């Protein structure tokens, strides 16, 4: 896989204060892949170190009052030129940066206040069809990349979600078209903690995994420190330990990054593969629900409910790590 990445994440000292944002998770992702490091601010002609900058009313301003919008946009244009030439499969950028932030940036008051919106370079790359993600929105294991879904994943989602053997056992009907898969990405796979399961070698979506947080109406509803885990995997990748690896990383993320107290998980009667994944990952039986509604299929099934709490995870942390 070819990855364009903010150079500061690789350990290059190009941050505004002369340091870097070296990120071991990102370095783990980059191993074995083709890496294209970029620093838009340096490429736009700004020195290192430099006065910090933020976007105010659409213009990039330095903290000392200087207008540095031209330099930022020059650097963004050069990054776009490189991206068009290299055609990276994934662009991983430093979160909250006025250049590289994908989802959030500071509001221009230099008060530490975050607002929704992208940095100059991230915005330009996304407007031109490149898949840009915040470094903070990636989870990485030995073999896998867990990242947010993008509309460009619709064809890959359809390829695997159209298989009746994948969806029916999990309680949802096979996808009937790429457009349906696109709609699912936009409206269902858009949760705050919902990820595409990808192999690190190509970054293509082969399954889905996620945590339903306090907004869930299911078994984990009503508590901020409790969530529900769900997942599925394309049939060509079954029996390779891939989903077990993904679930173990999601468990780590839930307890260590999100501060969860309990993670719940369930499977329908007959879904032996899902049961085995949960057993391997430390979940234990809590209860059986008979005649449970399966709303998307308009039928009833028996559901087995399992859980894992933080204390149990800590006791088995080494065993459950990826």
**All domains in the chain, ordered by first residue:** 2-137 (no CATH), 142-320 (3.40.630.30)
**Phi, psi values for residue 198, rounded to 5°:** -130, 150
Question: For 214-225, what is each residue's pLDDT tens digit?
Answer: 655 566 566 678
Burial class of residue 153 (count of CB atoms within 10 Å of its CB; 0-12, 13-18, 19+): buried
- CA atoms within a 13 Å half-sphere pointing along the CA-CB vector of 282: 24
- CA atoms within a 13 Å half-sphere pointing along the CA-CB vector of 208: 26
pLDDT given at position 145: 97
pLDDT given at position 215: 58
Q: What is the mean pLDDT of each run of 10 residues along the chain (322 residues)?
A: 97 97 96 96 98 97 98 98 96 97 96 97 96 94 95 96 97 98 96 95 96 69 82 98 98 96 96 96 96 96 96 84 61
DSSP for 45-56 reads: T--SS---EEEE
pLDDT given at position 115: 97
pLDDT given at position 216: 54
At residue 313, the 3 state secondary structure works out as helix
- CA atoms within a 13 Å half-sphere pointing along the CA-CB vector of 258: 26
pLDDT given at position 213: 87
- CA atoms within a 13 Å half-sphere pointing along the CA-CB vector of 301: 20
pLDDT given at position 317: 79
pLDDT given at position 320: 67
Q: Closest by alpha carbon to 261, among 224, 292, 286, 293?
A: 224
């Amino acid at each position: 896989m070819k990855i364009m990445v903010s150079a500061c994440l690789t350990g290059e000292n190009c941050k505004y204060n002369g340091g870097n944002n070296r990120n071991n998770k990102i370095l783990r992702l980059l191993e074995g892949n083709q890496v294209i490091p970029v620093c838009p601010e340096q490429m736009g002609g700004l020195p290192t170190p430099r006065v910090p900058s933020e976007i105010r009313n659409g213009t990039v301003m330095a903290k000392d009052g200087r207008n540095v919008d031209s330099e930022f946009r020059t650097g963004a244009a050069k990054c776009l030129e490189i991206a068009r030439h290299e055609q990276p499969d994934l662009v991983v950028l430093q979160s909250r940066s006025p250049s590289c932030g994908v989802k959030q940036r500071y509001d221009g008051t230099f008060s530490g206040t975050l607002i929704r919106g992208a940095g100059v370079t991230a915005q330009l790359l996304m407007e031109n069809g490149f898949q840009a993600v915040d470094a903070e929105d990636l989870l990485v294991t030995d073999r896998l990349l867990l990242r947010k879904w993008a509309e460009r994943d619709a064809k890959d989602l359809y390829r695997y979600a159209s298989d009746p053997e994948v969806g029916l056992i999990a309680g949802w009907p096979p996808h009937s078209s790429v457009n349906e898969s696109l709609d699912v990405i936009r409206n269902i796979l858009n949760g705050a903690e919902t990820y595409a399961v990808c192999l690190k070698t190509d970054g293509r979506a082969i399954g889905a995994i996620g945590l339903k947080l306090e907004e869930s109406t299911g078994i984990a509803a009503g508590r901020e420190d409790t969530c529900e885990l769900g997942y599925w995997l394309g049939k060509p990748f079954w029996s390779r330990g891939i989903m077990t690896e993904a679930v173990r990383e999601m468990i780590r993320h839930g307890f260590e990054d999100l501060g969860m107290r309990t993670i719940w998980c369930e499977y329908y009667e007959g879904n032996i593969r899902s049961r085995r994944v949960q057993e391997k990952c430390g979940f234990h039986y809590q209860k059986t629900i008979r005649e449970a509604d399966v709303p998307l299929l308009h039928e009833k099934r028996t559901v087995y409910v399992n859980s894992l709490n933080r204390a149990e995870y800590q006791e088995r942390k080494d065993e459950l790590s990826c």
